[in-house]
Structure 1
Amino acid sequence: MRLLLTGGGTGGHIYPGLTLLQYMKRTVGAVDVLYVGSERGLEREIVQRAGIPFVAIPAAGLKRELSISGLRTAWTAWRGFREAKRILKDFRPDVVVGTGGYVTLPVVFAAASRRIPSVVWEGNARPGLTNQLCARKAYGVAVCFEESVQWFRRANKVVVTGNPRASEVLDADPKTLRHARALYQLQDGKKLIVCFAGSRGAETVNDVFAQLIPRFSEKSDWQLLYVTGDKHFEHVRQMLPARLPENVRLVPFIHDMPALLPHAGLLVCRAGSSTLAEICALGLASIIIPSPYVTANHQEENARRLVERGAAMMIREAELTPDALWKAMHEVLETGRGDALRRAARTLATPNAVQSLCDLVLEAKAQNSRR
């Protein structure tokens, strides 16, 4: 099978496609793959690190208003479309799978122009404009939330699959779990708090944690693994004392999150779709701080689905203070609240998500073969 993957910008648009690919290699057999991304996102580094062929095309977010900036992005998208058509002609995929981000639009539209079926995967409760437009050209759309179906009324087919990352974290083998425990120096008998604010980190969350970290010296039975994001690591390190509390570890990025998360007693995080899927699959206690800097505030909508079902706590960034976060962490780790969150999270899990998405992709391929 020949599969072309596209999607980018953040890890939430990249990792689900890679999870799908690994599953298909195990279950379908030989898969020739090409990943098409942009130069500006994280996809080149992540995809090439996984040993997958990668090519970049021009991509930019479409704007709804008519302006000079809007014309520039439209021109960039047109250039990406032309380049994508050339790539599709050369690679000749059976199916294109787009997982969101600006680069998905020119690739899916180019696939439609060449009569190559595509599947669009949407991770958020409220989809962005890119995937709504792509859905009209796709064979099918896979979504993570029942609430998302209403946004794709003009799609040919919509299937609620869940997030492939939910399946991946459940399949982490014991060897990788042991490796993560050693790599991140996790200590027996301590309650592990893993904190990260998305692929790139977040300045406000980092500033709050910089104020909190000295307090961890008071909690010898807690352990913090704090992921700053690559571009914020030096800034955060400079705000902290030269000698960190013994139970605090600072790292810029985690490449093997599925191997780390099963060790966590508490996750403090953003509300990206993949992260929430991992929370539910593993039954993790979590404090979610939705990013307010995303389109249509979709992260808060994502988080609300868990909060309303008692499966997570939420602190909006505007209300985030060191005291508020410390109090919430204490509630989760030192009372019965954590166990209640874990039980509720498991009820929202979609453990067969990657299989469901794979089935839709194979269905699209079969339809193409019948032409």
Structure 2
Amino acid sequence: MKVLLTGGGTGGHIFPALSLWRHLAARIQGAEFLYVGTERGLESRLVPEAGLPFVAVHAAGLRRELSLDAVRTFAATYRGYRESLRIVRAFRPDVAVGTGGFVALPVMYAASKLGVPSVIWEGNARPGLTNQLLMRRVDAVAVCFPESESQFAGARRVVLTGNPRASEVASVSTADKRRAMDAYRILRGQRVVLIVFGSRGSETANRVAAEMLPRFADRPDWRLLFVTGERHFEAIRDQVGPLPRNVTIHPFISDMPSLLPHVDVIVSRAGSSTLAEICALGVASILVPSPYVTANHQEENAMQLARAGAARVVREADLTPDRLWEEIRSLLESDLSDMRERARTFGRPDAVHRLGDLVLEVAGKGSR
């Protein structure tokens, strides 16, 4: 069996695809896989590092308005579509799976044009433009929120699967957890705070968090890991100067599933993969939705949890060092069990199995 995967730009599109790949590779002996992304997205580094064959095509972020940039976007997307046609013809997949991001549009459109059975996966409560454009061309749409099903009224089939990343964090081995504890210098009895504003980080939110770091010097019983994103790491390191002994900053953490079981409170964006990981483990969270994403979908994701008492939400415009410290302090000095249990109600630890079942079912419809 051959499976073509595509999706890119941010970890929210890439990590679920990698989780699905690992699941299907373990499940189907002799299966072949190919990941199609762009050279500019994080997938160009993360996918080869994971050991999955990778090829790149041209693509560009979609524009909703008529402009010169929109013309350039169309030209890049069409070029990527022509490249994708060649790749699909050469690889001859039994099924194609898209996990979002603008690269998925030309790749999945080419797969559909060539009659390849196909599935798209949507991680957010409000679907992205790419998946909205693709829903009528694929055999099935997989979603993570029940509320998303009505957004795909024109699709042939919509299935609630959840985010496959949830399955990965829920099944981390004890040995991997121990390694993470040693690697990140977490002492027994310490309460752990993780700050990470998406796979690429955030200049604005990072600056606020950096100003708050010295306050941890007075709480040696707490441990703070601050993930800046690679492009912001040097600037933040220069800004903070000497750090308290219980604080470290990191450009990126690739073994997040192994670290998260140790985390008491996470301060993060509200991307779909992050929320899946948080909910699968029942981690208490302070969510700072990115205001820069299309249709403000992260705030909609975050409010799903906040309304259920499963998270706190702070808009980036309201984020200050004092506010952030107070939110962290009040959670760490309280009983987190209720918030953790409420978060778990959103978790779907069997999500990768659900999605894998759907992909195999769709592939069976057109296997050759």
- Residue in 1 aligned with 2:283? 284
Measured in 1, the distance between the counterparts of 2:64 and 2:18 equals: 31
Measured in 2, the distance between the counterparts of 1:171 and 1:339 equals: 21
The 5 Å alignment of 1:1-371 reads: 1-241=1-241, 243-336=242-335, 338-369=336-367
2:225 counterpart SS class: strand
Measured in 2, the distance between the counterparts of 1:359 and 1:254 equals: 30
Map Cα deviations across residues 197-223 of structure 1 (whole Å, 9 max, x no partner): 001110111111111111111111111
Deviates more, 1:270-279 or 1:343-352: 343-352
Measured in 2, the distance between the counterparts of 1:347 and 1:128 equals: 25
1:193 counterpart SS class: strand
Measured in 1, the distance between the counterparts of 2:63 and 2:280 equals: 36
Query: By how many angstroms is 1:174 displaced?
Result: 1.3
Map Cα deviations across residues 311-362 of structure 1 (whole Å, 9 max, x no partner): 00111100001111111111111012x2221011111111111011011101
Map Cα deviations across residues 221-263 of structure 1 (whole Å, 9 max, x no partner): 111011010000000011112x210100111100010000000
Query: By how many angstroms is 1:66 displaced?
Result: 2.4
Query: By how many angstroms is 1:149 displaced?
Result: 1.0
2:82 counterpart SS class: helix
| RMSD, aligned α-carbons | 0.9
Amino acid of the structure 2 residue aligned with 1:294: V
Query: By how many angstroms is 1:134 displaced?
Result: 1.1
TM-score (norm 1): 0.98
Amino acid of the structure 2 residue aligned with 1:347: T
Query: By how many angstroms is 1:8 displaced?
Result: 0.2
Unaligned stretches of 5+ residues in structure 2: none
% same residue: 55
Measured in 2, the distance between the counterparts of 1:28 and 1:311 equals: 36
Query: By how many angstroms is 1:26 displaced?
Result: 1.7
Amino acid of the structure 2 residue aligned with 1:287: I
Measured in 1, the distance between the counterparts of 2:144 and 2:261 equals: 22
Query: By how many angstroms is 1:369 displaced?
Result: 2.5
Measured in 1, the distance between the counterparts of 2:299 and 2:308 equals: 14
1:369 counterpart SS class: coil
Query: By how many angstroms is 1:103 displaced?
Result: 0.4
Query: By how many angstroms is 1:67 displaced?
Result: 2.2
Measured in 2, the distance between the counterparts of 1:331 and 1:246 equals: 22
TM-score (norm 2): 0.98
Deviates more, 1:172-181 or 1:115-124: 172-181
Query: By how many angstroms is 1:29 displaced?
Result: 2.2
How many residues were matched structurally? 368
Measured in 2, the distance between the counterparts of 1:341 and 1:124 equals: 21
2:366 counterpart SS class: helix
Measured in 1, the distance between the counterparts of 2:265 and 2:39 equals: 34
Measured in 1, the distance between the counterparts of 2:108 and 2:136 equals: 10
Measured in 2, the distance between the counterparts of 1:265 and 1:281 equals: 14
Query: By how many angstroms is 1:185 displaced?
Result: 1.1
Map Cα deviations across residues 2-32 of structure 1 (whole Å, 9 max, x no partner): 0110000000000001101111122222220
